[in-house]
Structure 1
Amino acid sequence: MSIKIIPIVDHESYDVNGNTVFLDGLGNWYCKAELSQRESNAFHNYKNAIIENKDIKKHTTSTYKGS
């Protein structure tokens, strides 16, 4: 099963397999639905590689494949 992360608004909200993850007013990433461990890990990797990378201006859709 693959995990697809789609930017909605760069640095503010992202779709993770149909669940919206967003940055709250305190600077924490939050999702109303509980993400699976694999989805959470994929978003954490995406955050480190894309969101927090100052050299990337436009965030792209990413797909994480796994078993």
Structure 2
Amino acid sequence: MPFREAGALRQLGRYDDGLAAIDRALDLLPPGDVSVHADLVRERSLIAAVGEVSLSAHTIGGTPT
């Protein structure tokens, strides 16, 4: 399932791959599946936010936790 795959990729720090998995899932989602769509959008937002924080930490010389 792409949702779980995306979560696992996020935990591994593979943010671009996680975003791609979410995008694939959104493309395959049938119209009207609102609850699943909302879950995918939340996970996508989380991956993007964590990826930005990680990138910022590396850019300013910090160490991500």
Q: TM-score, normalised by structure 1?
A: 0.41
Structure with bigger RCO (C-alpha 8 Å, 6+ apart): 1
Higher strand content, 1 or 2? 1
Q: TM-score, normalised by structure 2?
A: 0.41
**Which one has the largest radius of gyration?**
2
Higher helix content, 1 or 2? 2
